[in-house]
Amino acid sequence: MRLFDTHTHIQSSKFDGDRDAMLARAREAGLAGQLVLGWDVASSEQAIALAEAQTGVLAASGCHPHDARDMDEPSWERLTELARDPRVAVIGEIGLDFYRNLSPKETQLQVFSRQLDLAAEVAKPVAIHCREAEETLFPLVEAWSRRLDGRLADGRPLGVMHYFSGDIDLAERYVELGFAISIHTSVTYPNAQRLQEVARRLDLSTLVVETDSPYGPPQSHRGKRNEPAYVAEAVAKIAELRGEPAHQVAEATTENAERLFAIGAATSAAASMQAPRSV
Ligand SMILES: [Zn+2]
């Protein structure tokens, strides 16, 4: 079974004690890949370092809405540089969070919009965080999607709605705008009916899965640290909800992630760029 965790923060100090063992458990669970997202400049640089050191690890660079208040001009210069870096696959994690409001709303809006523009400029997909901000975020993303004709220049989806928490109607509207919907390990919680309905009804071609490690462990590990190996539990729950074999859900969500992050494309482009041997 091949799995892909589309949202982790394994650069977090919560993994400093056992990062290698955790990565070994992820491989044992069948993880073909994971996307490690930054939340500020330093954590984005750490994500790149992990992607360089570990196979199957991709990096995203970006500023999380919680950290928007810390974005000064030197930080923008560095984030812009990182966005253009070929080792960065995705711009994220970006978005709006009006639940915790750790940064002022106005600042969050400016930082989010500027990063959407940056993603369009470098033609990379985005990973979007949205909490209690749907009414503000949707129109912004809609306008951005229209500007790009709903696709990246190379035909890929525009990005992923991370830790999706809306209902099925909203999920379908984001799919129409050119987004994949990420089902988080919290789909295993008994009270997660709304997310379970999204996981059951959405077309399999639009779904990806994530843990958001170290946050949000599945039901079996509540109150503890989450880790990428547990993405298997999200897949098992989705398979049960849909009445489909787990290996089928695993393969489809992995292929969706690989298409979104251009993994096969990067490999074949690199292969085709090899100069033919002279005889
Ligand atoms: Zn996150």
pLDDT tens, residue by residue, 86-106? 999 999 999 999 999 999 999
CA of residue 67 to ligand 1 center, whole Å: 12
- What residues are paired with 59 via a beta bridge? 36, 88
User: What band does 274 get if pLDDT is binned at 50, 70 and 90?
Assistant: very low
Q: Is the dihedral angle over the CA atoms 2, 153, 48, 114 positive or is it negative?
A: negative
pLDDT tens-digit map of 212-270: 999 999 999 999 999 999 999 999 999 999 999 999 999 999 999 999 999 975 444 44
CA of residue 128 to ligand 1 center, whole Å: 9
Cα dihedral 55, 85, 231, 241, rounded to 10, equals: -130
- How large a percentage of the chain has pLDDT more than 70? 95
Cβ–Cβ under 8 Å, residues 116 and 60: no
pTM as predicted: 0.94
Residues within 5 Å of ion ligand 1, judged at the Cβ atom: 93, 212
> Residue ranges per domain, the chain?
3-263
The pLDDT of residue 265: 59
CA of residue 68 to ligand 1 center, whole Å: 14
Q: What's the mean pLDDT when you consider all of the chain?
A: 94
Fold of 3-263: TIM Barrel (3.20.20)
CA of residue 9 to ligand 1 center, whole Å: 7
User: What band does 279 get if pLDDT is binned at 50, 70 and 90?
Assistant: very low
The alpha-helical segments, DSSP class H, found in the chain are: 19-29, 41-53, 73-84, 105-122, 134-147, 168-176, 193-201, 231-242, 246-260, 263-272
CA of residue 162 to ligand 1 center, whole Å: 8
CA of residue 149 to ligand 1 center, whole Å: 27
- What would you measure as the largest C-alpha separation in the chain, in angstroms? 66
Cβ–Cβ under 8 Å, residues 231 and 7: no
CA of residue 215 to ligand 1 center, whole Å: 8
CA of residue 271 to ligand 1 center, whole Å: 33
The pLDDT of residue 175: 98
CA of residue 164 to ligand 1 center, whole Å: 11
The pLDDT of residue 264: 75
Cβ–Cβ under 8 Å, residues 47 and 37: yes
Cβ–Cβ under 8 Å, residues 230 and 185: yes
CA of residue 78 to ligand 1 center, whole Å: 20
**Spatial CA neighbour of 63 closest among 111, 122, 113, 127:** 111
The pLDDT of residue 271: 43
CA of residue 224 to ligand 1 center, whole Å: 17
The mean pLDDT of 60-84, rounded to a whole number, is 97
pLDDT tens-digit map of 6-63: 999 999 999 999 999 999 999 999 999 999 999 999 999 999 999 999 999 999 999 9
